[in-house]
Amino acid sequence: MADDNRVFIFDTTLRDAEQTPGASLKVNEKLEVAHQLARLNVDIIEAGFPISSNEDFEAVRRIGQEVVGPVICGLARAVLKDIDRAGEALQDAPKPRIHTFIGTSEIHLKGQMRKDQEQVLNMAVAAVERAKSYCADVEFSPMDAARTEPGYLFEVIEATIAAGATTINIPDTVGYAVPEEFGALIGRIIAEVPNSDQAIISVHCHDDLGMAVINALAAVKNGARQVECTINGLGERAGNTALEEVVMALKTRQDYFGYDTGVVSQEIVPSSRLVSRLMGIAVQPNKAIVGANAFAHSSGIHQDGVLKQRDTFEIMDPKIVGLDDTEIVLTARSGRAALRHRLEVLGYEVEQDELDRIYEDFVELADKKKEVFDEDLVEIVGGETVDATAHYELQYLHSVSGTGTVPSATVRLRIGDETVQQSAWGDGPVDAAYAAIGQATGSDIQLADYAIRAITSGSQALGEVTVHLARGDEKVRGRGVSTDVIEASAKAYVDALNRLAAKAAKEEHQTV
Ligand code: KIV
Ligand code: ZN
């Protein structure tokens, strides 16, 4: 039935993923997602379960009316009133599909429905026939198919195709299947159900054992031509087959699978971000394809390789999934190649000796922070350098503070050729550090102004302290930057002292 090398992508983010606790969306939000799914060019959007609530009904109705491109599908139990409600919701949709389902495993028959096999088979056939009275495109799912006795499963499939189902979806409802077994089941359906060539065989895999994607791919290898999936793999319990993973596996390993989808892969990341934002569910950083680290390189060897030739450590171009570029994460493990590359991106062309200088400062900062951001680099390049000729140099700082402790600080300063160490206490750790510096330098200097701000983001951000010191009528500014705000404060104070010393030296020079 299907094109020889085409796998249809059936997105159930708005139905199965929307069942995730806390992830429910308002009608307008569902419309926003549906429009994005249309840009992603999925083949079918399962827009909701119309009988389940008026909101779901309204969402299916409006998506059917407003979203152009994909087939719009509504879910219904194999119960006539459900199907009527789905038919009603889809009446204005140009390309409607009704998806009806019923449990077929012994566990479901006995444990939940309290019906025998014949009753369930009759309900399935009646449901498909009823759905056919609303639209030509009807999908039937024998729920918990992966745990259904194959002989009975094949009988239900044959009867529902005969009743008019155009897609037969095989759900692994509880994520119990393993790839070889699930692939073999699909192969057997195609080989053993006499009329299986009159329907598209679809799969719907849950991720309880982390095998949803690989089960779906095994099914494709064995003849399935529709995969049901969700953005970010969201869905009941551990979730569903992740759309982005199946699509990119088929695309990247076309050589192995030999199938295409119609998905516009550049819309994958925008879709992932939209769903994550609207459903309020963050994507784990190491999630394949759409996680924040999926295209981020941290090891120095990997960074060097990727910068020389991308495919040394990258199997997909990040642009294909809608990202700007590969991310080179600057950490203590990064080498000069990565640092130079990032500096060039930021517009700095540096000579080797300048790079060496920046690299030293970079490593010092990277040892304190997990990640060095662009803003940090700008600070480093901007010259937070130690002036070897400076009169004052902060060599050591130890500060103690906390609830129920008297804040105290010990500093060691190089002052000219001498080294001086002093300890003091104060109202807070900064006050204590300033008192200790004041005692070490012995100067009659007033702190006229003090300001602090975070110049990079995150809990390991760089703090920038600016102080104004006054001696008589003279006022100078000093600046210090560090991940440790007490150290930044002390540096700012010492920087201002150096400016005072430099001014004094200049004045003395002029009078000579
Ligand atoms: O997991 C499942 O079996 C389902 C069906 C409704 C297809 O979501
Ligand atoms: Zn499901």
In a domain, 143, yes or no: yes
Place of tokens 């299907």: 2
Nearest to 497 by CA among 507, 474, 484: 474
pLDDT exceeds 50 at position 388 = no
Q: What is the pLDDT of residues 293-344, one digit of tens each?
A: 999 998 889 999 999 998 999 999 999 999 988 788 899 999 999 999 988 8
pLDDT exceeds 70 at position 506 = no
Q: Last residue of a domain, which of 349, 381, 413?
A: 381
pLDDT confidence tier of residue 386, bands split at 50, 70 and 90: very low
Interval 209-224 mean pLDDT:
98
Residues 247 and 268: their CA atoms lie apart, in Å, by 9
Distance 171 CA to ligand 1 centre (A): 6
Atom 4 of ligand 1, nearest CA residue? 173
pLDDT exceeds 60 at position 383 = no
CB within 6 Å of ligand 1 — which residues?
Answer: 16, 101, 141, 143, 169, 171, 173, 204, 206
pLDDT exceeds 60 at position 392 = yes
Residues 17 and 21: their CA atoms lie apart, in Å, by 9
In a domain, 234, yes or no: yes
Same domain, 313 and 225: no
Same domain, 135 and 251: yes
Interval 236-242 mean pLDDT:
96
Ligand 1 atom with the smallest distance to the CA of 75 is 6
Ligand 1 atom with the smallest distance to the CA of 240 is 1
* pLDDT at residue 511, as a whole number: 64
Atom 6 of ligand 1, nearest CA residue? 101
> Of the ranges 216-225, 419-428, 443-452, which one carries the lowest mean pLDDT score?
443-452
Nearest to 270 by CA among 290, 298, 243, 299: 290
Residue span of the structural domain in which 34 resides: 8-279
Share above pLDDT 90 across residues of the chain, in percent, rounded to a whole number? 73
Nearest to 133 by CA among 169, 101, 163, 92: 163
Same domain, 195 and 149: yes
* pLDDT at residue 384, as a whole number: 44
> Of the ranges 53-67, 429-443, 495-509, which one carries the lowest mean pLDDT score?
495-509
Which of the ligands is closest to the CA of residue 174?
1
In a domain, 363, yes or no: yes
Distance 4 CA to ligand 1 centre (A): 26
Count of domains in the chain?
3
In a domain, 287, yes or no: no
pLDDT confidence tier of residue 185, bands split at 50, 70 and 90: very high
Ligand 1 atom with the smallest distance to the CA of 101 is 6
Same domain, 103 and 183: yes
User: How many CB atoms within 10 Å of residue 238?
Assistant: 14
User: How many CB atoms within 10 Å of residue 154?
Assistant: 18
What does the longest C-alpha to C-alpha distance in the chain come to? Answer: 112
Q: What is the pLDDT of residues 476-488, one digit of tens each?
A: 878 888 889 999 9
Helices 485-511 + 429-441 axis angle, to 10 = 30
Whole-model pTM over 0.85: no
Distance 143 CA to ligand 1 centre (A): 6
Same domain, 111 and 238: yes
Look up the CATH number of the domain holding residue 435. Answer: 3.30.160.270
Q: Last residue of a domain, which of 246, 279, 312?
A: 279
Same domain, 270 and 301: no
Distance 398 CA to ligand 1 centre (A): 62
Same domain, 331 and 413: no
Same domain, 123 and 57: yes
Distance 234 CA to ligand 2 centre (A): 10
